């Protein structure tokens, strides 16, 4: 469902802020600079007024995930006012300069979808950063001994099953720019890597060699896939075209490689390995070459890496007693421990992560704003939810 955005030129007398400032002339603009975030960044204080029900809940959730803090108006830097009587209408005010930044109305879709669109516009206005509220996730859902792949809105709402195989599936990964996934499935016996077009329902094998075929990771250009195979007796990293042709082996060692991911330029593949009985992160040229270790000082036993879309960071899971979500500069160095959890996946904005955390004998999915370390659980979905992948 498309969301249509209309300027609120005729609503200036209806949607007035509690602390109004002068309206902007048509040729007048406010210049906002995009900050470079640091760990421990304070959330941006924002007040929200006038919304109700599902739209109000969605808007507040989105803003908190994106690093805002909902506060009273007298403590806020920004104020968003409006209503959702028939359609979502909203105005964003800068309470420091007392200037109106924008006023818009949103039509089409549900009140939740309209609120997501408003939240994304607020993020763009406040930080010059593309919002995440209208994105989607894929993940594994465990029920009993079997599992299936689901997709949902990023906040867990509108979950839909992708598979109905009554078997074991694992490690879904979005194909960039397409409504399609790759994942591993035991449907045909040993685990095979499948490509699944979500528009047509078509599925085809990418890798179905003897032994195990698992951990698919699709390249940023959507043309290749990295994967872990043990068809030759070693558990090694391979790369092929997305249709399974032109298979190339990138490692050959007893190091038990796992969890590949791509650099955003498609030149490198990062993965976890276990030389000398100690797990480390490594990278290797996607075209083949020497393996290099990525140092993760301060975080032991790193695994499940994911390279941020801006190329600056690698998020990963560290097992230091409990499982911890960490990030390290892409070139390696000092790792920063963020929160407890496993299997992080970056959003397209290179600021937010989705991950799985243990709860009540299973897993739930949670969202993390990395600079502020604010964490919020997604809408609860029946079953144990893990191995999330954020569409980019």
Same structural domain, 109 and 223 = no
Which pTM value belongs to this model? 0.90
**CA pair distance 80, 93, nearest whole angstrom:** 6
Cα distances (angstroms) measured from residue 296 to each of 174, 260, 308, 332: 27, 16, 16, 6
pLDDT tier at 246, thresholds 50, 70, 90: very high
Q: Under a CB-based contact definition with an 8 Å cutoff, are residues 141 and 170 in contact?
A: no
* Neighbouring residues of 245: CB distance < 8 A, sequence distance ≥ 6: none
CATH of the domain at 101: 3.40.50
Same structural domain, 176 and 117 = no
**CA pair distance 241, 196, nearest whole angstrom:** 15
Q: Which of 74, 92, 127 is the last residue of a domain?
A: 127
Question: Which residues share a beta bridge with 36?
Answer: none
Same structural domain, 183 and 87 = no
Same structural domain, 285 and 328 = yes
Q: Which tens digits make up the pLDDT trace of 105-157?
A: 999 999 999 999 999 999 999 999 999 999 999 999 998 889 999 999 999 99
Same structural domain, 212 and 329 = yes
pLDDT tier at 24, thresholds 50, 70, 90: very low
Q: Which of 108, 127, 146 is the last residue of a domain?
A: 127
Nearest to 63 by CA among 126, 107, 5, 109: 126
Same structural domain, 173 and 304 = yes
* Neighbouring residues of 223: CB distance < 8 A, sequence distance ≥ 6: 241, 242
Nearest to 351 by CA among 315, 316, 300: 315
What pairing do the DSSP bridges indicate for beta strands 68-70 and 44-49?
parallel
Same structural domain, 24 and 163 = no
Q: How many domains does the chain have?
A: 2
CATH of the domain at 176: 2.120.10.30
Same structural domain, 76 and 217 = no
Q: Which tens digits make up the pLDDT trace of 79-88?
A: 999 999 999 9
Same structural domain, 32 and 156 = no
Domain with 50, as residue range(s), is 4-127
Same structural domain, 249 and 380 = yes
**CA pair distance 46, 67, nearest whole angstrom:** 10
Same structural domain, 234 and 327 = yes
Q: Which tens digits make up the pLDDT trace of 70-80?
A: 999 999 999 99
Q: Which of 127, 148, 176 is the last residue of a domain?
A: 127
Same structural domain, 176 and 250 = yes
């Amino acid at each position: 469902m498309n969301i249509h955005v209309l300027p609120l030129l005729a609503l200036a007398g209806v949607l007035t802020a509690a602390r109004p400032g002068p309206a902007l002339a048509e040729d007048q603009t406010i210049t906002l600079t995009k900050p470079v975030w640091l760990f421990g960044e304070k959330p941006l204080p924002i007040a929200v007024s006038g919304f109700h029900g599902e739209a109000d809940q969605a808007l507040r959730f989105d803003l908190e995930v994106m690093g805002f803090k909902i506060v009273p108006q007298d403590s806020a830097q920004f104020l968003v006012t409006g209503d959702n009587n028939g359609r979502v209408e909203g105005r964003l005010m800068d309470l420091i300069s007392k200037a109106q930044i924008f006023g818009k109305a949103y039509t089409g879709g549900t009140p939740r979808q309209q609120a997501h669109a408003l939240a994304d516009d607020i993020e763009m206005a406040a930080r010059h950063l593309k919002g995440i509220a209208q994105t989607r996730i894929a993940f594994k859902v465990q029920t009993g001994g079997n599992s299936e792949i689901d997709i949902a809105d990023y906040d867990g709402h509108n979950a839909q099953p992708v598979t109905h195989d009554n078997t074991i599936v694992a490690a879904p990964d979005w194909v960039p720019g397409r409504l399609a996934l790759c994942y591993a499935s035991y449907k045909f016996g040993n685990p095979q890597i499948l490509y699944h077009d979500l528009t047509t329902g078509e599925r085809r094998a990418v890798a179905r060699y003897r032994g195990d075929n698992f951990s698919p990771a699709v390249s940023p250009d959507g043309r290749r896939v990295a994967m872990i195979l043990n068809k030759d007796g070693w558990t090694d990293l391979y790369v092929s075209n997305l249709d399974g042709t032109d298979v190339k082996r990138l490692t050959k060692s007893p190091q038990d490689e796992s969890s590949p991911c791509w650099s955003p330029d498609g030149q490198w593949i990062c993965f976890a390995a276990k030389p000398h009985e100690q797990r480390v992160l490594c990278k290797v040229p996607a075209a083949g070459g020497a393996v290099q270790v990525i140092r993760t000082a301060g975080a032991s036993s790193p695994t499940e890496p994911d390279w941020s879309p801006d190329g600056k960071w690698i998020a990963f899971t560290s097992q230091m007693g409990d499982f911890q979500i960490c990030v390290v500069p892409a070139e390696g160095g000092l790792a920063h421990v963020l929160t407890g959890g496993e299997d992080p996946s970056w959003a397209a904005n290179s600021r937010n992560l989705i991950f799985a955390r243990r709860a009540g004998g299973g897993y739930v999915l949670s969202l993390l704003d990395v600079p502020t370390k604010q964490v919020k659980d997604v809408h609860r979905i029946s079953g144990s939810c893990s191995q999330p992948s954020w569409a980019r």
